Chains A and B, each alone.
Chain A
Amino acid sequence: ASGSLSNDTIPTSKMLRLFVLLGFAVSCCLASERQFCCSAEDRHIVEKQWEVLWGDTESSKLKIGFGSLLLQRLAKEVPEVTALFKKVNIEHPESGEFAAHSLRILNALDMIINLLDDPEALDAALDHLADQHHDREGVKKAHFKTFGQILHASLPRVLDDYNAMSWRSCFKGILLKISSKLQG
């Protein structure tokens, strides 16, 4: 993508650059876990951008709203999930049970993001979450993949600053680890 002089080649070269960059981001995440995928700077960016949401004292309202929105979207895209959340009363999203569960999930997300600075503690926390999901029969790896997609589609709507590359490279590993103990 160097030395392109004519005007019409610039968009293609830009596209190509983006493509190469994206390919690089994906491949490096698979190749080396430590340095490049979810690097120190990525983690700082994610933490900083996430922090913006919790400026007010009424943060639990926001957490409940955002959490229940994510879960409802997931249930809409993968209908079989509805049965898994029966215990927390997903049929009535306004109910106390479901609000509490939404808060639980958002708090776990918050904990993960705040532990990004401490890889060892993060690993322990993710391992615990993996155990908890392993105990729920019917939860599948594919559900986490869809959840990741929903998360990446929704976050830019609530965050003014959203660095998609950083968030993706970090959450790919996180969701993989949480779903690592599932059968299907």
Chain B
Amino acid sequence: SFGYLWQRQVSTIAISVTMWYVLLLVGLAAAATDPYKERGFKYIVSNQKLHINQLLEELHELEEKFEKLSPDVDPKDVRHIRARIHSLEHDECPRHQGQCGGDVPQCINDLLFCDGHKDCRNGRDEDPEVCSEAVTHVGSSYTGLATWSSCEESRPHNAVVTITASQRKDFFPARIWVRAVLSFEIDEHTHRITTIPLRGYYNFGRRALVLGPERGQKAIYGVRCHFDLGDDDHATCHIVNPASLHECGHFTATRY
């Protein structure tokens, strides 16, 4: 009878263990269906993020490699080179005439530029770019290292032409009348500066700023600047004798 009792007890324990196990399983299953899915989803998301990061890194490396290649050419440089080629091509117009430009070259008198009437076949003589008054805006300064070939015994030094006044007359708009000042350092140590008052005009057709001595002043120097580099900010300037136009010095001017 002891043996039977033992067997019953064992089977009861087994049943209860099995029951507890099933209960545990059921409970676990009930608890785990949601978190498992979420974790799997999170895993996939972080995986994608890692993948994107890697792609970004590769892209970054490529960008760096690309940046190490030479940069794009500055459009200003292209304009300057084109202007210099243009001035070497010798399609210069005769005296007192200006080039219309464009595909079919045409020269017209420089008195006809920017006067409100189209005289070029392509109408370039009234083009807002050609008729830009920017060169003569009061306060514009053109600076460059002046080299002297005569008149002044001096090593190269900075020369400045500054526009102090400008006026365009309604009845004669083909010129802008200007007042300007030419100044340059004559002694580096004592910082002595010569200032020469000038007056003259800007000629649209020839893109030239022509300056002579101011009324009542000693006729020492005049200045001729050609804005021949394709914009209003760069010019080739010559310091000349106002009477003979004999060249004393020259400088390549930049608007400052």
Q: A interface vs B, CB < 8 Å?
A: 39-41, 43-44, 116-119
A-B contact count (CB 8 A): 18
Within 8 A of A (CB), among B137-160: 148, 150-155
- A41 close to B150 (CB less than 8 A): yes
CB contacts (< 8 Å) of B152 on chain A: these are 40
- A40 close to B151 (CB less than 8 A): yes
18 contacts between A and B (CB under 8 A): A39-B150, A39-B151, A39-B153, A40-B148, A40-B150, A40-B151, A40-B152, A40-B153, A40-B154, A41-B150, A41-B151, A43-B153, A44-B150, A116-B153, A117-B153, A118-B155, A119-B153, A119-B154
**How far, in whole Å, are A118 and B153 apart by their CA atoms in the complex?**
8
Number of interface residues of B (CB under 8 A): 7
Helix, strand, loop or mixed for chain A's interface? Answer: helix
CB contacts (< 8 Å) of A39 on chain B: these are 150-151, 153
CB contacts (< 8 Å) of B153 on chain A: these are 39-40, 43, 116-117, 119
Helix, strand, loop or mixed for chain B's interface? Answer: loop
Q: Give B151 Cβ to nearest chain A Cβ, in Å.
A: 6
CB contacts (< 8 Å) of A41 on chain B: these are 150-151
Within 8 A of A (CB), among B151-209: 151-155
**How far, in whole Å, are A16 and B148 apart by their CA atoms in the complex?**
34
Q: Give B86 Cβ to nearest chain A Cβ, in Å.
A: 34
**How far, in whole Å, are A40 and B154 apart by their CA atoms in the complex?**
8
Which partner residue on chain B sits nearest A42 by CB separation?
B153
Which partner residue on chain A sits nearest B153 by CB separation?
A40
Which partner residue on chain A sits nearest B186 by CB separation?
A34
Q: Give B246 Cβ to nearest chain A Cβ, in Å.
A: 10
**How far, in whole Å, are A41 and B155 apart by their CA atoms in the complex?**
14
CB contacts (< 8 Å) of A116 on chain B: these are 153
**How far, in whole Å, are A43 and B153 apart by their CA atoms in the complex?**
9
Q: Give B219 Cβ to nearest chain A Cβ, in Å.
A: 13
Which partner residue on chain A sits nearest B188 by CB separation?
A120
Q: Give A115 Cβ to nearest chain B Cβ, in Å.
A: 11
Given A40-B151, A40-B152, A119-B154; 15 other pairs, CB 8 A cutoff: A39-B150, A39-B151, A39-B153, A40-B148, A40-B150, A40-B153, A40-B154, A41-B150, A41-B151, A43-B153, A44-B150, A116-B153, A117-B153, A118-B155, A119-B153
